[in-house]
């Protein structure tokens, strides 16, 4: 019985690691689209095309993200803002956005 619990916990941990890996791929795709948007002006269309593709839907699903049109439009909106994912996920950026919301 203990072996079953250990293997279940191990499989769960492996699954969570894989999910984080696919989430990192999504963040990298967003960063690439932001770079394309700054350079060529077509980043939103690029990320939408990727997210609607079979590979994009598979990566989003494996990352635990529902590959719906609502998500695609959210990704496009994120890219159009032009804030890199590392900056958007930082504590300083979060505090700055919260301060803006409180001031408004």
Give, for all 104 residues of the chain, the pLDDT tens digit: 556 667 887 888 999 999 999 999 999 999 999 999 999 999 999 999 999 999 999 999 999 999 999 999 999 999 999 989 988 888 887 788 788 888 87
> What is residue 21's predicted lDDT score, i.e. its pLDDT?
96
* Token couple for 24: 């990192």
> What is residue 38's predicted lDDT score, i.e. its pLDDT?
95
> What is residue 98's predicted lDDT score, i.e. its pLDDT?
83
The count of structural domains within the chain is 1
In angstroms, the CA 30 to CA 43 distance is 9
> What is residue 89's predicted lDDT score, i.e. its pLDDT?
82
The angle subtended at Cα 10 by Cα 7 and Cα 15, nearest 5°, is 125
Domain range enclosing 25: 2-103
> What is residue 18's predicted lDDT score, i.e. its pLDDT?
95
């Amino acid at each position: 019985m203990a072996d079953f619990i250990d293997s279940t916990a191990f499989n769960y941990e492996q699954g969570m690691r894989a999910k984080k890996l696919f989430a990192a791929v999504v963040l990298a795709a967003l960063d690439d689209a932001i770079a394309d948007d700054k350079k060529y002006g077509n980043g939103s269309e690029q990320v939408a095309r990727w997210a609607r593709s079979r590979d994009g839907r598979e990566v989003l699903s494996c990352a635990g993200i529902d590959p719906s049109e609502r998500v695609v439009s959210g990704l496009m909106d994120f890219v159009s803002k032009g804030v890199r994912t590392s900056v958007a996920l930082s504590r300083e950026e979060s505090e700055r956005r919260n301060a803006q919301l409180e001031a408004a």
